[in-house]
Amino acid sequence: MTNNFKRISKLLLDYFGISIGCMIMAVAFNSFFVPARIAPGGFSGLAAVIYHFTNFPIGITTLVLTIPLFIISIKLLGAKFGAKSFYGTIFFSLCIDFIVKSPQLTDDLFLSSVFGGILLGIGIGIIFRFGGTTGGTDLLAALMHHYFRTISVSTWLLIVDSIVVAIAGIAFQDIEVALYSILTIYINMRLMDVIQEGISNTKAFYIISKNSTEIAYRIMKDLDRGVTTLRGKGAYTNEDRDVLLCVVNRAEVFQLKDIVRSIDPNAFVILANVHEVIGEGFKNID
């Protein structure tokens, strides 16, 4: 009973999150993109272009364009993914055409592209975070990521959406609108990544030193951070060396540098940005 309750609660939470994301996306379209003739990529962006020439509802057009991808997604990504994607597309279509009637908030093309992109990125990020899509090119991006996992979903979106923007630029015969649409896609991509993966202020240190034992002890004692010792070998000298790996918060970067400098000024140190850290001392798995 408990496991069933958890599964049902998780499923309801997923659909609630997808609904919120769809509503945010609808605001982006109705308040910013459609009045400014900005095509933010995706089948919905293509539907917005069609709307300006035919006055045919954007939501319904998006739904019609997306149906073939649903069939493919159910076969390749599973019925659960397909069901959430189907719900996302249906609800987004309803939101943009009927439910969310948000007014135009600005006449400025730049503001429309920036704030529309922010809302769109937040909306899509939330939907992806809860395991769904709104169909269209974001579903196509998820399918491409299924085959080419080294390329992120957001990068696939950028590639496919750039094609849609090119179509919009040709249709409207307005290079300025196309350029602002590209700006919108970039902002959308960055916000989507932030929503899905979070904002991280952590750094990773790789330290190669003859005094690795002493450095590791000082890091654990002074910073209360764990240190992992990796076994390495110099390709030129063929000597075995310990490589220390330590992840710290941004505020601890200078302290760690001081520790290394005070023990071994000649140590070889690599400082790398860390996108996300899950585990003791940082954060738990969502």
Question: How far is CA 91 from its chain centroid?
Answer: 21
pLDDT over 90 (residue 157): no
The CATH number corresponding to 202-273 among 1.25.40.10, 3.90.78.10, 3.40.190.170, 3.30.70.120 equals 3.30.70.120
Distance CA 116, CA 118 (A): 5
Q: What are phi and psi of 282, to 5 degrees?
A: -125, -100
Alpha helices in 78-135 (DSSP H): 79-94, 109-129
pLDDT for the residue 227: 94
Distance CA 133, CA 84 (A): 7
Give me the mean pLDDT over the 151-168 stretch: 79
pLDDT over 70 (residue 200): no
Question: Edge to edge, what strands does the sheet with 268-273 contain?
Answer: 228-233, 240-249, 202-208, 268-273
**CA-derived radius of gyration, the chain:** 24
Please tell me which residue, 262 or 89, carries the higher pLDDT value: 262
* Domain positions in the chain: 2-197, 202-273
And the tokens for 102? Answer: 């948000």
Give me the mean pLDDT over the 36-42 stretch: 88
Q: Which residues contact 7 (CB under 8 A, 6 or more apart)?
A: none
